[in-house]
Amino acid sequence: MGFFSKDIKSLNDLFMHGLQDLYYAENQIMKALPDMIEKATDAQLRAGFEKHLAETEGQIHRLRQVFELLEAEPKGEKCPAIDGILKEGKELMGEIDDEDVMNVGLVAAAQAVEHYEITRYGALIAWAGELGRSDCIPHFKANLAEEKATDLKLTALSERRFNPEADKKPAEKAKKPARSKNTARRKTPQRATAAKAKRASAKKTKRRA
């Protein structure tokens, strides 16, 4: 069943369907991540996927807690959207041989997943608020924060790929060339006259003493 269906007759129905949709999606993503980890050759990308796999397990746990709050059985509703996104990513990875290009493709595939989740969690937070289920919102917000953080990291990896200098520290500013000793000692006519007068005054003072 699609996200919007004739079987949904109330906001509560839509809310429950959205929850089941995401529960299904998170479980499918957890199954897909190990393959993405295996194909990633970039160390940072691989580490990011490994971290997100652990986060996804935690996100599924939070969704189960929401089901408990609603006194409903944890249940997933088949989601054609996430199935399509994951299928497209898998097919894309099967067509790439170059490792560097594979990493770029993995980032794009992962961000498509993150953007879907970000949209859905945002909707659930709004609907939960309207339905007076503020007890569910912290769980959704925690998951949403992790999805947004992952998306930002993927964006940073993508920018580093196309702009290798992006993550390097700014080069140290060039130091101003020191004045040569000769230049430092060179005096203008005015300074020379002042220095001469100072020496003459010092001699007179010494004689008086």
Domain with residue 126: its CATH number is 1.20.1260.10
Residue 87 lies in a domain: yes
In this structure, is residue 207 part of a structural domain? no
In a domain, residue 179? The reply is: no
Distances (CA, A) of 101 to 106, 133, 147: 9, 45, 24
7 pLDDT tier (thresholds 50, 70, 90): confident
What confidence score (pLDDT) does residue 200 get?
58
pLDDT for the residue 166: 46
Number of structural domains the chain divides into: 1
Residue 189 lies in a domain: no
Asked whether residue 184 is assigned to any structural domain, the reply reads no
Reported pTM: 0.74
pLDDT tens digits, 79-130: 999 999 999 999 988 888 899 999 999 999 999 999 999 999 999 999 999 9
Among 30-44, 102-116, 163-177, the minimum mean pLDDT is found in 163-177
Q: Specify if 178 maps to a domain.
A: no
Q: Tell me, yes or no, whether 135 lies in a domain.
A: yes
Q: How far is CA 147 from the centre of its chain?
A: 9
Domain that holds residue 35: 11-167
| Residue spans of alpha helices (H) in 70-168 | 80-94, 99-130, 137-162
Inter-residue long-range contacts of 156-165, CB under 8 Å, 24+ positions, other chains counted:
157/42, 157/44, 157/45, 157/48, 157/107, 158/104, 158/107, 158/108, 158/111, 161/103, 161/104, 161/107
User: Residue 139 domain-assigned?
Assistant: yes
**What integer pLDDT is reported at residue 92 of this predicted model?**
86
What is the Cα–Cα distance from 64 to 62, expressed in whole angstroms? 5
Terminal alpha carbon distance of the chain: 110
Tens digits of residue pLDDT in 49-61: 999 999 999 999 9
- Please check the confidence at residue 68 and state whether its pLDDT lies above 90: yes
